[in-house]
Amino acid sequence: MRYVIIGNSAAAIGCVEGIRAVDPAGSILLVSQEPYHTYSRPLISYLLQGKTDRERMKYRPDSFYDDHGVECRLGTAVTAVDPAAKEIVLEGGQRLPYDRLLCATGSQPFVPPMEGLDSVDKKFTFLSLDDALALERALTADSRVLIVGGGLIGLKCAEGIAGRCASITVVDLADRILMSILDAEAAALMQAHLETHGLVFHLGDSVSSFQEHRAQLQSGGTVDFDVLVLAVGVRPRTQLLAAAGAQIDRGIVTDANGLTSLPDIYAAGDCAASWDISSESRRVLALLPNAYMQGETAGRAMAGEPKPFNKAIPMNAIGFFGYHIITAGSYTGQAHVHSHGQDYKALFTQDDRLKGYILMGDVARAGIYTALIREQTPLSTVDFDLIMEKPQLMAFSRTDRIQKLGGAPC
Amino acid sequence: MKRIYVNEAWCLGCHLCEYYCAFANSGEDDMVKALKGVTIHPRIQIESQGNISFAVSCRHCPEPLCVKGCITGALTQKDGVITIDENKCVGCYTCILSCPYGAVMPGEGTAVQKCELCTRNAQGSPACVAGCPNQAIVWEER
């Protein structure tokens, strides 16, 4: 069996480990456009912050490829996939055969057309190690930084560089920060926290044009800057498989085994769209744990021992300057909100199920809530008051507790 | 593999397991020095409500969501035991988001902490089990 993996991040690594859990013998070829040993993409902000370094941000040890019998072609772009011939085509035209293929091409920054953007000399996106290194080279202690986008990527970038520049201004079209994971009250709390760390926000606003070092805002104001970071959003990198004829619905459409609409071709991670059980819809769940688990699932299926992954939900653990956020699921149904100082909790229930939650500040044991969503546990089987109070196993029935702590683990 | 199993019927809620855990992981060889006047951060924690109590610590799951979800590769599983590389962990708390038992927790520094079955301290086998006065916590094959 000849396995080929395009990509070298969490989904690709998960696929290698999934394959090897089943098939110790088949050949694995991993092709990656980036020239680096596998690294943790979300750590690029921690790298700039000095909380990790190039060595520690390696996602697996140096011996990983050897240990798992993986042949690597790093720094090599794949230009096409030919499903009829069961071959991939590398830049330069070389064709390589596969029996099973994984596409784990991730996502790419989305940069909307903006007037005058060409006049800006120091502009960066913030998704890859190269992005982070380029931004780092451009930064000085005097840099005034403008970040367009107040989402996860933009704000994580802000935290990463906060100690290394003169000022940070964030502009976002949305009327609140972290729109994808926070409600209005939680977003206001976090915004206030970020403002105490010097960030300046222009929300509900956008850049109408750039003139070199000046951004003209829609609202009429201007922001002068030296360095521009574009963190408006990301898009699944689907071009290879779209051109090969795979079904695309924002991401590459996959089933619970990671199989695409094309035979023997799988997809996993940020490039793939899969079923979100909390919203009961097909979504691109661009987050590392799902990328790993989708990759591992695809690997097992590629090696002939499928173990479907059908419990995917959106989830995020993120913090800024020591203030932590953990969220999961979908914010539908009835909201149960408890707010006390910096601690914020919103639980969303519908049809006797926990559908989603937001925890900020006190995030202890959040995984108990995540499990309620993932396992779709009927809330009528738990003590509702106790589970609303805090995540705790005490809320489960005695029988369930005995099973959880005295029986076989997950 | 040998795992920690908890029997709530026998748990007295005495919290001794928490103290033995904190002592075992303190690096001190004197219990008084390790614990007296110190706020402990044990990796096993008692839940109690009325006359019910039980200890919760890592179950070392065969399909560990914390390890699979770890964004840095700091959490790994070897011979069934899940351990944390504090040097790699950046404290993102994805493992706290993932663990269905609530058994991974913030540590005293940046890195998270969790039960490692006393494999990385001088104790060598679970101190909570050895210290439990009523065998409500056991370490065995099942």
Q: What is the pLDDT along chain A (410 residues), one digit of tens a residue?
A: 999 999 999 999 999 999 999 999 999 999 999 999 999 999 999 999 999 999 999 999 999 999 999 999 999 999 999 999 999 999 999 999 999 999 999 999 999 999 999 999 999 999 999 999 999 999 999 999 999 999 999 999 999 999 999 999 999 999 999 999 999 999 999 999 999 999 999 999 999 999 999 999 999 999 999 999 999 999 999 999 999 999 999 999 999 999 999 999 999 999 999 999 999 999 999 999 999 999 999 999 999 999 999 999 999 999 999 999 999 999 999 999 999 999 999 999 999 999 999 999 999 999 999 999 999 999 999 999 999 999 999 999 999 999 999 988 88
Q: For residue A227, what are its two tokens? A: 């360095």
Q: Do residue A100 and residue A136 come from a single domain?
A: no
Residues of chain B contacting residue A326, judged by C-beta atoms under 8 Å apart: 93, 96-97
Residue ending a domain, among A182, A201, A232, is A232
Query: What pLDDT digit, counting tens, does each position of B70-102 carry?
Result: 999 999 999 999 999 999 999 999 999 999 999
> Model's pTM, two decimal places?
0.96
pLDDT, residue B10, reads: 96
Please indicate whether, in this complex, the C-beta atoms of A289 and B64 are within 8 angstroms of each other: no
Q: Do residue A22 and residue A74 come from a single domain?
A: yes
In terms of residue numbers, what domain contains A396? Answer: 322-406
The domain that holds A218 is classified in CATH as 3.50.50.60
Q: Do residue A228 and residue A239 come from a single domain?
A: no
Distance CA A270, CA A70 (A): 22
- Assign a CATH topology to domain B1-57+121-142: Alpha-Beta Plaits (3.30.70)
pLDDT, residue A26, reads: 98
Q: Do residue A86 and residue A192 come from a single domain?
A: no
pLDDT, residue A318, reads: 97
Residue of A nearest to B66 (CA): A289
pLDDT, residue A348, reads: 98
Residue of B nearest to A45 (CA): B90
Give residues 259 to 278 of A whose Cβ lies within 8 Å of B: none
Q: How far is B134 from chain A (nearest CA, A)?
A: 16
pLDDT, residue A312, reads: 92
Residues of chain A contacting residue B62, judged by C-beta atoms under 8 Å apart: 409-410
Q: Do domains B1-57+121-142 and B62-114 have the same CATH topology?
A: yes
Strand partners of residue A156: none
Query: CB–CB of A241/A231 below 8 Å?
Result: no
Residues of chain A contacting residue B96, judged by C-beta atoms under 8 Å apart: 317, 326, 363-367
Would an 8 Å CB–CB cutoff place A309 in contact with chain B?
A: no
Query: Which own/partner contact pairs does A373-377 have at CB distance under 8 Å and 24+ positions apart?
Result: A373/A277, A373/A278, A373/A313, A373/A328, A373/A329, A374/A277, A374/A311, A374/A313, A374/B100, A375/A311, A375/B100, A376/A277, A377/A353
pLDDT, residue A410, reads: 83
Q: Do residue A128 and residue A210 come from a single domain?
A: yes
Q: For residue A52, what are its two tokens? A: 């990790």
Query: CB–CB of A370/A378 below 8 Å?
Result: no
Q: What's the number of domains chain A is made of?
A: 3
Nearest to B100 among A40, A293, A368 (CB): A368
Residue of B nearest to A50 (CA): B90
Q: Do residue A121 and residue A224 come from a single domain?
A: yes
pLDDT, residue A386, reads: 97
Please indicate whether, in this complex, the C-beta atoms of B73 and A410 are within 8 angstroms of each other: no
Residue ending a domain, among A205, A232, A259, is A232
In a domain, A307, yes or no: no
Q: Do residue A88 and residue A177 come from a single domain?
A: no
Count, in order, helices (H) and strands (E) of chain B.
5, 8
Please indicate whether, in this complex, the C-beta atoms of A43 and B72 are within 8 angstroms of each other: yes
Handedness of CA A381, A276, A293, A253 (dihedral sign): positive
Tokens 């300057």 correspond to A321
pLDDT, residue A223, reads: 98
Residue of A nearest to B9 (CA): A402
In a domain, A308, yes or no: no
Nearest to A410 among B6, B8, B65 (CB): B65
Residue ending a domain, among A268, A302, A336, is A302
Distance CA A330, CA A146 (A): 31
Domain ranges (residues) in chain B? 1-57+121-142, 62-114
In a domain, A264, yes or no: yes
Q: Do residue A86 and residue A140 come from a single domain?
A: no
Residues of chain B contacting residue A398, judged by C-beta atoms under 8 Å apart: 8, 52
Query: What pLDDT digit, counting tens, does each position of B46-72 carry?
Result: 999 999 999 999 999 999 999 999 999
- Residue A374 CB: number of other CB atoms within 10 A? 21
The domain that holds A363 is classified in CATH as 3.30.390.30
- Assign a CATH topology to domain B62-114: Alpha-Beta Plaits (3.30.70)
Residues of chain A contacting residue B98, judged by C-beta atoms under 8 Å apart: 289, 315, 367, 370
Would an 8 Å CB–CB cutoff place A385 in contact with chain B?
A: no
Q: Do residue A204 and residue A68 come from a single domain?
A: no
ipTM for the predicted complex comes to 0.98
